[in-house]
Amino acid sequence: MLAGLVPDRLAEGYSTLVSHGTVDLTGSSPVEDRELVEDLVDWGLARRQGTVRPELRPVEPLVALESSLEHLHEELARRHRALLDGHHRLRELQRDYFAGGADGPASQPFRVLSDDEVLDVTVGMANTATEDAMAIVNDTDGAIMSTIRSDVALRRDQPVRKRVLYDPSALSLPDGTADDPREAPEEMRALSGVPLELHIVDERAAVIPLRAGSYLFIRSRLVTRALRHYFELLWQRARPLGEHRQEEGHLTRAQHDVLVLMSCGLKDEAIARRTGMSVRTVRRHVGVVMDLLSADTRFAAGVEAQRRGWL
C-alpha cells in the first residue's frame, strides 16, 4: 500500500505492525529497531500509547496513506524551494561571470570562442538578461539562431525586452519554405542585407562571429554600448516581420541576389554568370521581383527596393 510513497524500511515496518497489531516496546518486539520506531511515529504511521508499559500501535491504513502523502508533499515542497534557490544562485554567478565580475575573468574583455563553447555562452547570456536581449540573425544555422530557438533561452519569467532583427534570407530554408522561429520572441523585425550577426544583453556582454567556427565574446562596456547603438540604428530602419514578409512576397535568396545585381546595373547574362543560374532562370526572377515592386523598369525597381529597405 505504501510502496513508493515512503522508504522501503518504513513500508515493511508498517506492514509488520499491521500484522501484529499493538506491540510491546519494553520486551521482545517484532519492531526492535528504535530508530525505525521513531521514524514510524514521525511519519504518522504509528503512535505510542501507555507510559508504564509503552506500546506501539499502527494507525488505520487510510490515515497512514494520508500521512504518507502529506509527508511526501512537504518533502517535494522543500526540494522545490532548494531547486529555486539553486537556480537563483546560478543566475547570480552567471550574471557576475558575463559582467566580468569577481568570479569571471574580468581581465579578459575579449575572448575567442569555439563552436563547442558559443552556444553555452549565448544561452547563458540570455538567461541572465535583466533588461534587454537583442539579436541580429542572418544565418539559419548559426549560433545566434540556435540560441533564439533554445527553450532555455526563451522560457523565462523575467520582464526582459527581447528583440530579434532578421535578414530575410535567414527566414527561408533551402527548399524555399518559410521558417517561423519556434516560440518567437516578443518583437521581430526584418531588414535586408544586415552585415553581421550579433547577440547582446544589457550592454554587458555580446557575441559576434569572426569566421567559420569562431566567435568573439565581448565584455567591454564601451564596445557593447557601441554595438547596442548600432543595433538600434538598424532596428529603426527595419520593418515588423509580418509586414516585411507581406510586402516582400517571400522573396527568396536567389531573387534577392538577382535584385542586388540588377541594382548594380548588370544585364541578365552577366547576372547568370555571377550566380551560376541559367539566363532563363534569371529572367524569371527578374520578372517576379519587378512584379513585387510594381516597377516598369529596372531603374524604377532599384529605386523602389531602396525605399522599402530591401537593399
Q: Tell me: the pLDDT tens digits for 198-241?
A: 889 888 889 988 877 788 998 888 898 899 999 998 888 887 76
| CB-side neighbour CA atoms (13 Å) of 63 | 13
Question: CA-CA distance, 236 to 258, in Å (whole number)?
Answer: 26
Of 41-50, 54-63, 65-74, 87-96, minimum mean pLDDT range: 87-96
Mean pLDDT, residues 71-88 taken together: 81
Is the Cα dihedral 179, 185, 187, 191 positive or negative?
negative
Fold annotation for 110-248: Endonuclease; Chain A (3.30.870)
pLDDT classification of 78: cutoffs 50, 70, 90:
confident
CATH number, domain 253-308:
1.10.10.10
Residues 118/207, Cβ–Cβ less than 8 Å? yes
55-62 long-range contacts, CB within 8 A, separation 24+: 55/22, 55/23, 55/24, 55/25, 56/17, 56/22, 56/23, 56/25, 56/29, 56/31, 57/17, 57/21, 57/22, 57/23, 58/14, 58/17, 58/18, 58/21, 61/1, 61/18
Mean pLDDT, residues 252-256 taken together: 82
> pLDDT value at position 28?
63
For the chain, residues classed under CATH 3.30.870.10 are 110-248
Of 66-75, 101-110, 211-220, minimum mean pLDDT range: 101-110
Strand partners, 56: 23, 48
Mean pLDDT, residues 284-289 taken together: 86
CATH number, domain 8-64:
1.10.10
pLDDT classification of 31: cutoffs 50, 70, 90:
low
For the chain, residues classed under CATH 1.10.10.10 are 253-308
